[in-house]
Chains A and B, each alone.
Chain A
Amino acid sequence: MTSRETTAATGGGIFHWLMQDTMDGLRRRRAVLGYLFLLPTLLGIFIFTAGPVFVSFGLSLFQWNIFKPPDFVGLENFERLLEDRRVIIGLVNTVKFTVLAVCSQVSIGLILALAVHRINRVWLRYYFRTAFFLPLLMSGASVAVFMGYIFHKEFGPLNYYLTLLGIPQIPWLTSSDLVMISIAIISAWRNMGFTFLIFLGGLSNLSQEVLDAADVDGAQGLRRLWSVTIPLLSPQILFATVTGVIGALQVFDEPYIMTRGGPGNASRTLVMVMYEHAFKHIEFGYGSAIAIVVFLMILVMAIVQMWLWRNRVFYQ
């Protein structure tokens, strides 16, 4: 800032400094206007996202049952969760679900995108795009309710048709070994529309020069897919994986509505344990401590993924 500007800013007031009829004044006005446009979003993030995160950090150091004033307990809640069998089980189940759900929704989304990309008829392409995307528009709760019926061991239509094929009834949601796989299948069905669209968009924007060069070099079929297409899609794969992992680590709707974490603890996820402690057992401090663990898990997983992919993502 020049001395003249400083004088203007202090002596002539902020308003005069801002309204100066110079190029600098114009730039300042534009900058202020830009920040004003950003302000509602920043306020929203601060109040509804960052604020609750900070409050959760604070609450995790207290014992609070909402009826009585919070009682400061330091790190006691974190010590307790290290010994809480349900938290450990929830963590293991969540990781199991994340691996199953993300792998399937990324791989199936990619396969579907590759297939639809090859379709020449535009209307058919629109049809499949809509069909694969539709489940994503449904609420997780309603999907869980009707999938609960479809996957019902004795009365569900899925097992009905399987038995017609001579396959015995499968306890999709009532076997400890199968329940997480079933929930991952349902989650993948609902979410693959998102990864599918990301990959389809990526495929449509692949550099034609690179693909032509691959043709000239004789790269065809799987070789071309593996050595050219997939590396070129790496930014989309990274995005789909990171967002998929973030979503999967927060899984709640499907297991809560379909199995309530059962049988036993077989489908109890970390977020479900957090919900149970905070809202059902009215232990908001302990629930917040679990929320912090979920938050740190997501943060660490996102950083690890970005780091692992740092040399494998090719931006055109």
Chain B
Amino acid sequence: MSAEKKMSRRDLLKLAAAGSTGLVMSGLPVRVIAQDMVTIKVQTAGLDDNTLQPVADIQMARNPNVNVEWVVLTGIDHEEVAAKILALVAAGESIDVGYAATEACQLFAGQGLAAPLDDRITSDPDQDFWTDFFSDVHPSLTEAMMYEGSLYEPPRDFNAANMYFNTNVLAENGFEVPGEEWTKDDFVEIARGTTKKDDSGNTEVFGYAWTNRLWGSWMPWIFVAGGNLYTEERAPGGEWVWDGYYEGDMAADGRGGGFRWRDPVANSSEVVEALELVVDLWQEGVTPDIAMGTGQTLTGFYATGLLCMTPAGGFWAGRLGNEGMAKGDFDVQYWPNWRNQKHQFGTGGHWLSTTSTAPDEAWDFMKIEVSHEGFQSSIFFNPVIITTPSRRSYSQKDAFESTGPANSDVFYGTLDDHPSTSPIPAPPWSNPMTTIFTTYTGFAMSGEMGPQQALDEMQAELESLTNREGRKYYQE
């Protein structure tokens, strides 16, 4: 390199200064535009930050000054996502729109983090939108998103605990998918009949499996045995939605302003019986050791023919297809009848933060998401169903045409045809409640405690928790 071409330190500094000035100048127009932009932060518990992109695209096409930013928080289960949202809030971060299932919805509403939507809905000039929406959404889903008379989330999806069958395992053992009226005894017979053991007594194919969590788990057995973890009562209020949007809908009769779960009843004889049933099946080797986690843990084992039955909702339809199960390899049925056939469900949706700096734009996003356009473009429902749509018109047979199951009517039928169906116990303190529930379930399912002892201790802890937390919520 010649001496003339060498750059002195002074030249370098000059060049750097000129470059920086140029960059600042070129950035100026961008800043001017940026000042007019409104950014809304949307939390998604989705698979990645593109999950809700189609919804954002619709909004940004309608209003180019809106920019949607994703806050992706994932977790093993809903309570973990809720915990991460709380950590975010504790760290001083704010979101405009958050996603929550029934249990966290109650917490965020109870603590004033989520804004009531009653006025936004009733004063919306586009009342046709809401009339259409509510006529398409079962009232029980709407009620589960209410707290003390107000609605906090328009439901986007739900999952009721139904029974999935591996039809190949059923057929190999001479069984068929049972009818709608099947009973707990039919279930036990199929579970035992499809369990295969090797010569040394190790189970090779399990008749039934579940994971230790709040939704799914052994909770459906508690419901059909006639029990619950907490007493279930209705809060007053909510007439604005029932009279205004559900008038004439028989399923809306007698509904209130959301649920109150006040007193723990975890050691009632019905709950003890339900736990005894699942413990017995585990001791017989019909059920594998129960681990923590979601149904995803079991998906692979189910798809490879190592399991016959497991509790799951519509969310499994698309996922089993992704695991390689062909249409017809699996089917679904209502939960079996025991003392009743009361089903449980959980529902999910987005809530509007009271700390939002752009509540109107955030509300627009929420509206688009639950609109027909939103449902038609949502990755959760297209091309396959990976969580059950809250809108009846998107949960029909054709939605499950490519994946199955054949009995897909069961999903929305759990709401439409079973009036007793109600949400999982989800008081605002459901996070610590879930810890207690899964802990004592673990004690019983590892044989460390008998069902009665485990539930007596669970009851004692729930009482202590409720005494500590319960008085902060629910108006008298």
Chain B nearest CB: distance from A87 CB in Å? 14
User: Inside 8 A of B292's CB, which chain A residues have their CB?
Assistant: 259-260, 262
Chain B nearest CB: distance from A177 CB in Å? 10
User: Inside 8 A of B112's CB, which chain A residues have their CB?
Assistant: 67
Q: B199-214 CB contact bits vs A (8 Å, 1 = yes)?
A: 0101100100000100
B432 adjacent to chain A (CB < 8 Å): yes
A279 adjacent to chain B (CB < 8 Å): yes
A66 adjacent to chain B (CB < 8 Å): yes
Chain A nearest CB: distance from B231 CB in Å? 22
A276 adjacent to chain B (CB < 8 Å): yes
Chain B nearest CB: distance from A314 CB in Å? 46
Judge whether A281 and B432 touch: CB under 8 Å: yes
Judge whether B90 and A66 touch: CB under 8 Å: yes
Judge whether A280 and B432 touch: CB under 8 Å: yes
A291 adjacent to chain B (CB < 8 Å): no
User: By the criterion of a CB under 8 Å from any partner CB, how many residues of chain B are at the interface?
Assistant: 38
In chain A, positions 227-277 with a C-beta closer than 8 Å to chain B are 257, 259-266, 268, 276
Chain B nearest CB: distance from A144 CB in Å? 11
Chain B nearest CB: distance from A90 CB in Å? 12
Chain A nearest CB: distance from B196 CB in Å? 12
User: Inside 8 A of B212's CB, which chain A residues have their CB?
Assistant: 260, 262
Q: Point out the residue from B111, B291, B448 that lies within 8 Å of A176, measured CB to CB.
A: B448
User: Inside 8 A of B80's CB, which chain A residues have their CB?
Assistant: 280
User: Inside 8 A of A257's CB, which chain B residues have their CB?
Assistant: 76
Chain A nearest CB: distance from B310 CB in Å? 14
User: Inside 8 A of B76's CB, which chain A residues have their CB?
Assistant: 257, 260
Task: Tell me whether A263 and B442 are in contact in the complex, defined as CB-CB below 8 angstroms, given that A67-B111, A155-B306, A280-B431 are known contacts.
Answer: yes
Judge whether A280 and B202 touch: CB under 8 Å: no
| A268 CA / B442 CA spacing, docked (Å) | 12
B87 adjacent to chain A (CB < 8 Å): yes
Chain B nearest CB: distance from A143 CB in Å? 16
Q: Quick one: closest A residue to B431, CB to CB?
A: A280
In chain B, positions 70-106 with a C-beta closer than 8 Å to chain A are 76, 79-80, 82-84, 86-87, 89-90
User: By the criterion of a CB under 8 Å from any partner CB, how many residues of chain A are at the interface?
Assistant: 32
Task: Tell me whether A175 and B446 are in contact in the complex, defined as CB-CB below 8 angstroms, given that A67-B113, A153-B288, A284-B90 are known contacts.
Answer: yes
User: Inside 8 A of A175's CB, which chain B residues have their CB?
Assistant: 446
User: Inside 8 A of A284's CB, which chain B residues have their CB?
Assistant: 90
In chain B, positions 29-85 with a C-beta closer than 8 Å to chain A are 76, 79-80, 82-84
Task: Tell me whether A259 and B439 are in contact in the complex, defined as CB-CB below 8 angstroms, given that A65-B111, A66-B86, A264-B448 are known contacts.
Answer: no
| A263 CA / B289 CA spacing, docked (Å) | 10
A171 adjacent to chain B (CB < 8 Å): yes
Chain A nearest CB: distance from B185 CB in Å? 26
Judge whether A262 and B438 touch: CB under 8 Å: yes
Q: A280-299 CB contact bits vs B (8 Å, 1 = yes)?
A: 11101000000000000000
Task: Tell me whether A154 and B206 are in contact in the complex, defined as CB-CB below 8 angstroms, given that A174-B446, A262-B292, A279-B87 are known contacts.
Answer: yes
User: Inside 8 A of B290's CB, which chain A residues have their CB?
Assistant: 174
| A176 CA / B447 CA spacing, docked (Å) | 9
B269 adjacent to chain A (CB < 8 Å): no
Judge whether A264 and B446 touch: CB under 8 Å: yes
Chain A nearest CB: distance from B29 CB in Å? 35
Q: A163-184 CB contact bits vs B (8 Å, 1 = yes)?
A: 1000011010111100000000
Judge whether B435 and A280 touch: CB under 8 Å: yes
User: Inside 8 A of A155's CB, which chain B residues have their CB?
Assistant: 288, 301, 306
B443 adjacent to chain A (CB < 8 Å): yes
B399 adjacent to chain A (CB < 8 Å): no
User: Inside 8 A of B177's CB, which chain A residues have their CB?
Assistant: none
Task: Tell me whether A263 and B448 are in contact in the complex, defined as CB-CB below 8 angstroms, given that A67-B112, A279-B86 are known contacts.
Answer: yes
B449 adjacent to chain A (CB < 8 Å): yes
Task: Tell me whether A163 and B202 are in contact in the complex, defined as CB-CB below 8 angstroms, given that A154-B288, A263-B448, A276-B435 are known contacts.
Answer: yes
Q: Quick one: closest A residue to B213, CB to CB?
A: A260
A152 adjacent to chain B (CB < 8 Å): yes
Judge whether B291 and A152 touch: CB under 8 Å: yes
| A276 CA / B439 CA spacing, docked (Å) | 13
**Shortest beta-carbon contacts, A-B, top 3:** A263-B446, A262-B442, A174-B289
Task: Report 26 cross-chain contacts, Cβ distance below 8 Å, ordered by A residue.
Answer: A66-B86, A67-B112, A152-B291, A153-B288, A153-B289, A154-B206, A169-B202, A174-B290, A175-B446, A176-B446, A257-B76, A259-B291, A260-B76, A262-B438, A262-B439, A262-B446, A263-B442, A263-B445, A264-B442, A264-B443, A264-B446, A264-B448, A266-B446, A268-B439, A279-B87, A280-B79
Interface residues of A (CB under 8 A from B): 65-67, 148, 152-155, 163, 168-169, 171, 173-176, 257, 259-266, 268, 276, 279-282, 284
Interface residues of B (CB under 8 A from A): 76, 79-80, 82-84, 86-87, 89-90, 111-113, 200, 202-203, 206, 212, 288-292, 301, 306, 429, 431-432, 435, 438-440, 442-443, 445-446, 448-449
Identify 5 new A-B residue pairs, CB closer than 8 A, beyond the known A263-B446, A280-B431, A280-B432: A66-B90, A148-B291, A153-B288, A264-B446, A279-B86
